Amino acid sequence: MELIDIGVNLSHDAFDHDRSGVMARARQSGIVQMIVTGSSIAITHQAIELARMHAGILFATAGIHPHHATELDEGSLAELEQLVADPAVVALGECGLDYFRDYSPRDVQRGAFAQQMALAARVGKPVFLHQRDAHDDFVAIVREHRSALAGAVAHCFTGGRHELESYLKLELAIGITGWICDERRGTHLAPLVRDIPAASLMIETDAPYLLPRDLKTKPAARRNEPMFLLHVADAVARARGVSLEALARSTTATARAFFRLPPAPSGGEAVKVSFELLGTNSY
């Protein structure tokens, strides 16, 4: 059984003291490849460096998160274009709109988002998208650029049926995180994930954020890490009424096709250990 984590902030300083251990635990849990999120110029450089150090296992995205939209000027856009062209980069992003935090003015966010969508179209790579409390403006910008894009995935989908239907009409792939494991805010996702076509469904941790709330044994630091993608996969499989193995096969195939990933490096221990981990948590 192989899993791919399509969104992990592995360059985050929360992993500085044990990044190699995090990767080892991920491998033991069946996670064979991971995509390291780039959310600013500086973080994108770090993501690419990690991907180069672990070629074939780690890959990177390159982008400007809406929180950092004010940082996108003519110079940084030119630098971003160079970064996106790097062979280690499999998508442009994380980009989009965030009207929940509003760390950047909304008009600046919209401009930065549109510029990055146009850049993605020029370089022919898919986009890794962020949206929070900005659905209408987000859809309008995506719709304007969608036909020119190589692909687009709504990262960390937490919305309702209206949002899901809008995204599927735009032929967006959908990324599901441990939000589905949150009994306070995520229960609405269980019936929705049944309606996502298998060819559009991927899974992610967004680590170190979004630690699944229903883990039986939680880490003392409350830090999420890629090994818990197995837990997310199990929750999604149960919601869809399929086996964990089937869910792993379909989401891995979808991720590999969407991001144009090569086969994972060989390794024989992941399947055995992943089932042992699943049993110990009594899901």
Rounded Cα distance, 155 and 174, in Å: 6
Query: Nearest to residue 57, comparing CAs of 76, 34, 77, 80?
Result: 34
pLDDT value of position 267: 60
pLDDT value of position 147: 98
How far CA 217 is from CA of 46, 210, 222, in Å, comes to 31, 15, 10
Sign for the CA dihedral angle at 152, 157, 162, 164 comes to positive
- Give the mean pLDDT of the chain: 94
Whole-structure pTM value:
0.94
Rounded Cα distance, 231 and 200, in Å: 20
The domain that holds 161 is classified in CATH as: 3.20.20.140
Rounded Cα distance, 29 and 34, in Å: 13
Q: pLDDT of 253-273, one tens digit each?
A: 999 999 999 999 986 444 443
pLDDT at 128 over 90: yes
Domains held by the chain: number: 1
Q: pLDDT of 99-124, one tens digit each?
A: 999 999 999 999 999 999 999 999 99
Residue 122 domain boundaries = 3-280
